[in-house]
Each structure stands twice: as structure tokens, then as C-alpha cells.
Amino acid sequence: MAAAGKVLTGFSLPYVALYAESNGTITYSSGQKLARGVDMTITPESGGDDNIFYADNQSAESASGAFAGGTLSLTVDGLLDTAEKLVYGLPAASGDWYSYNDDQAVPYVGFGAIARYMSDGVTTYTAIVLPKVRFNALELSAATQEDEIDWQTQALEATIFRADDAKHNWKKISAPQASEADAEALIKTMFSIL
């Protein structure tokens, strides 16, 4: 009997780190947890048309477009304070206030998270890293509490770029790991988190 397909069953532990490039070498600093993950969607975009070659009255070959950018959409429980300052490039506090203003310098960051899969009853964990993203302006939506708590989440969106390394990586995935901790350790190593 053939092995069952790999079914996606979860998403967890989103991390970010400042992205830097020097002579084609990518490095990361200030790596940290972003928030607690609720859901994630990675939507790549391809450049150009499919460029289909027809023969014998049917499509015979296709040269699909290469990666041309994309969008990372996240729902989290709420950004951690230090992560918000990092990904939105907030200037130093003025008294008790952090300001979103002309002094912001929104950086490129690496993004990593863990996908949980199940196949033939066996659970594995895969680290997913987007080497270079930039977060878009922060959206905030809130509602007043009524008789019961309305659990509210935060939506985040980032633009995905090709990295500045020799192969222009835009996504990396690990080999399946036996535990979530093993997959998390791979992300922490890549993002230089001790």
C-alpha cells in the first residue's frame, strides 16, 4: 500500500530577525518570537504568462513563470512589543510613547514558522523560512467586550522578496523533524537566536 499524503495540521511559533546582506552572504540579527500564531498563508506570484507550447492540437510543454514576489498573510494573537518595534522600525520611545511617523525605518526581516503535518498517523514538523520580507503598515481592528469575551486576533501582512544571495532564495523548508522543538531549533539557528 502506498504511503498516505502529507496533510497539513497546524502552524506555530512565528519568528522574525533583521535581514542583512554583504557580498551575497545573508546574515540575521535581533532574532525573536513575533507572537503566537493562529494562521498563515504564503501566496507567491509568478512573473509572465505560462508560455505554453502546443503540438498535436494540445499543450505539449509549459515554461511557467518564475517567482516574482508574493504576500505573507498572518493572523496572530497579538504582536509582542519588542517584535512590533523591530518589524516596523519604530524610533526610540519619547517618554511613554512609541511613534509611527517619518522617523520609522521599516527593515527587511527574515520570517520563520513551523508547519505540522500528519502522514500515516505519524506527526512531523517542518521549519519554513522566508529569507526576506517587509511588513506592511499595521492594521488594527477591535471591538468592545460584551457578555462573553470575543477573542480578537491581529492580522499582519508582509511582502515577500527574493533574497540577495547567489540563488535568490525566497523560501526554504527543512526536512521533516520529529518534534516541534527540533524544527524550532533550526529556525533559531538560522536567525542566530541563542
Would you state the pLDDT for residue 1?
Answer: 42
Would you state the pLDDT for residue 79?
Answer: 87
What is the grid cell recorded at 22?
554583504
What is the grid cell recorded at 169?
532564495
Would you state the pLDDT for residue 114?
Answer: 98
Residue in 89, 72, 73, 81 with CA at minimum distance from that of residue 35: 81
- 96: which DSSP letter? T
Give the predicted TM-score (pTM) of the model.
0.86
Would you state the pLDDT for residue 51?
Answer: 67
Residue in 132, 112, 109 with CA at minimum distance from that of residue 18: 109
Would you state the pLDDT for residue 3?
Answer: 56
CATH top-level class for 7-190?
Answer: mainly beta
CB atoms within 10 A of CB 85: 16
Would you state the pLDDT for residue 68?
Answer: 82
Would you state the pLDDT for residue 148?
Answer: 80
- 91: which DSSP letter? P
Would you state the pLDDT for residue 136?
Answer: 93
Would you state the pLDDT for residue 2?
Answer: 52
Domain chopping of the chain, boundaries: 7-190
Mean pLDDT by 10 residues, the chain (194 residues): 75 97 95 95 80 74 75 92 93 88 94 95 96 89 75 90 94 97 98 92
